[in-house]
Structure 1
Amino acid sequence: MARKKNINKDNLISWYMEFVLENNHQPKSIFSFAKENNFEETDFYKFYGSFDVLEEAIFSEFFHHTITVLSKSEDYETFDARNKLLSFYFTFFEILTANRSYLVYALENSNSDFKKLKTLKGLRKEYIGYVQNIGIEKIDLKHEKLEKIQDKSIQESSWFHLLVTLKFWLDDVSPSFEKTDLFIEKSINARFDLMDIKPLQSIIDFGKFIIKEKVNFN
C-alpha cells in the first residue's frame, strides 16, 4: 500500500493523541508509529524531532487555537487587560475540556511538579509573551532595574496562576466544570484588584513630593 502523502502536524498530533489514549503510553518508536498510520518515518522529522517535542507542541497548539478563536471576536480588541485575560482563560479551558482525556494522561499521570514539566515549556513561553502584550497597567518606577523586576514578577505570577488553575481544573468534578469557571473569574478579578496601581502610584507620587519639598525646605 502506498504511503500517505502531504502529512501535516495536525495529522501527527491527532494520531499521537489517539494512540496514547488507547494505549496509555507513547508509541514504542517513531518507525512503528509511522507504520501504524501509513506514512513515511522521514515525514515525522519534518515537524518534530521526537515524541517529547510533539507533546510539548500539543500544548502550544492549544494556546494558538485559543488566540485564533479570540482574534475572531470584534469585541476582544476593545477589552481592557482584565477582560482580555478572562476571555483567554475561559476560551483556553474550553479547548482543554474538549481534550480532557489527553490532558489527564499528560499531566495527572506525570507524577511531576507542573513547574518542572518540560511538556509545558512551549506553553509557558507563549503565555508569558501573551501576558506581556495585553496592556497590564504597571507602576512607572522610572528605574530600569526595578521595572525589569516588576515585569518579571508579573510574568512569573501570571504563569503560576495558570498552573494553579490547571491543577484546579484537573481536580474539578463539578457539572460542566462550573467550579473552575468560578475559580477563573474570582481569582483573576482578585489579581487585578491587588494589582491596581492607582492607590500605590498616588502614595509613590506623594512620597516624591514630600522628599522634594523637604529638600527645598532644608
Structure 2
Amino acid sequence: MSLNFHMMAKKKNINNQDIISFYMDYVLEHNNQPKSVYAFAKHYNFEESKFYEHFGSFDAVEKNVFKAFFDNTHQALEASEDYNSFNPRNKLLSFYFTFFENLTANRSYVLYALHNHKNSLKSFKTLSELKSSFTNYVQNLNIELIDVKQEQLERIQNRGLKETAWLQLLLTIKFWMDDTSSSFQKTDIFIEKSVNTSFDVLNVAPLKSLIDFGKFIFKEKIQMN
C-alpha cells in the first residue's frame, strides 16, 4: 500500500514587504525573534533562500521596518498636491503627523521593538536606516538658515540641523511611547509646539514659543513621573 503525502506548495512571490509583515506578526505573537531563518520560512511557508534574497539577518529586517514607516509616510506626502505647495515648516509638520499615524497603526510592534531602548534611542542601531532617510529628507526641505558666508561653517550648520532634527524626532517618539491620552492628543500638541519652536529659533523669532514648549514639557514630565 502506498501513502500519498500532499505537501502545501511553497509561496513563490515573496517580496521584502511580505517578509517585514511576517516578521512583525511573528514577534508580536511570540514576543521574540524567530529561532532561525529556516524556522521562520517554514512557519510562513516559503523557501529559506527567498529570505536571503532580501535580507541578511533578522536585525536587517528590524532596521527596515522603521525605514518602511518612513517610506510609507514619504510616498503618501509626495502624492499630495497640497503637500508639494507647502513651505518647509508645514512640510515637516505634515511629515510628523503622517509618520506618527503610521507608528500608531503599528503601535504594538513599535513598543515591542523600542521598549527596552526607550532611554537610549540615540544609539539604538535598529533606527539607523530611519535616521539616514529622515536626515536626508530634512536636508532636502531647503530650510533657510542664517547665511554664514563660509563653506566650512555652512557644513557644520547643516550637520547640526540634521542632528537636531533627528534628536527632535527621537524625543517625539519617546513622548508618544509614554502618551496615554486619547487618540494621542498630547503627542499632536507636542509635535506642533516642538516643530514650530525649532523654526522660530531658526528665524531668531521671539522666545515665547520656546517658553511655552518648556512649560508644556515640564508639566507633562511631572504628570508622567
Same fold, TM-score > 0.5, yes or no:
yes
- Among 109, 121, 137, the alignment partner of 1:130 is 137
Q: Is residue 141 from structure 1 mapped to residue 127 from structure 2 by the alignment?
A: no
- Among 183, 189, 195, the alignment partner of 2:190 is 183
Aligned partner of 1:83 in structure 2 is 90
Quote how far apart the aligned CAs of 1:109 are. 2.9
3-state SS of 1:46 partner: helix
Partner Cα separation in structure 1 for residue 44 and residue 132 of structure 2: 31
Deviations 1:82-113 (A, max 9, x none): 00000000000000000000000000134661
Quote how far apart the aligned CAs of 1:197 are. 5.3
Q: Is residue 116 from structure 1 mapped to residue 123 from structure 2 by the alignment?
A: yes
- Among 77, 86, 90, the alignment partner of 1:70 is 77
Relative contact order, higher structure (CA 8 A, sep 6+)? 1
Partner Cα separation in structure 2 for residue 132 and residue 159 of structure 1: 11
- Among 46, 49, 60, the alignment partner of 1:53 is 60
Aligned partner of 2:20 in structure 1 is 13
Deviations 1:43-100 (A, max 9, x none): 0000000000000000000000001110121111111110000000000000000000
Say whether the 8 Å CA contact 2:118–2:174 is kept in structure 1: no
Q: Which amino acid aligns with 1:149?
A: I
Q: Which amino acid aligns with 2:46?
A: F
Partner Cα separation in structure 1 for residue 193 and residue 118 of structure 2: 28
Residues 198 and 189 (structure 1), Cα distance of their counterparts in 2 relative to 1, 3 Å cut: closer
Quote how far apart the aligned CAs of 1:135 are. 1.7
- Runs of 4+ aligned residues of structure 1 deviating over 4 Å after TM superposition are none
Unaligned runs of 5+ in 2: 1-7, 207-225
Partner Cα separation in structure 2 for residue 174 and residue 140 of structure 1: 41
Say whether the 8 Å CA contact 1:70–1:88 is kept in structure 2: yes
Q: Which amino acid aligns with 1:18?
A: D
Say whether the 8 Å CA contact 1:59–1:123 is kept in structure 2: yes
Say whether the 8 Å CA contact 1:138–1:197 is kept in structure 2: no
Partner Cα separation in structure 2 for residue 118 and residue 137 of structure 1: 30
- Among 10, 19, 44, the alignment partner of 1:3 is 10
Unaligned runs of 5+ in 1: 200-218
Residues 102 and 31 (structure 1), Cα distance of their counterparts in 2 relative to 1, 3 Å cut: same
Say whether the 8 Å CA contact 1:30–1:41 is kept in structure 2: yes
Larger radius of gyration: 1
- Provide the aligned length of Structure 1 versus Structure 2: 199
Deviations 1:96-155 (A, max 9, x none): 000000000000134661011110000000000000011200121111111011101101
Aligned partner of 1:43 in structure 2 is 50
Residues 173 and 181 (structure 1), Cα distance of their counterparts in 2 relative to 1, 3 Å cut: same
Residues 20 and 3 (structure 1), Cα distance of their counterparts in 2 relative to 1, 3 Å cut: same
Matches within 5 A, 1:159-198: 159-196=166-203
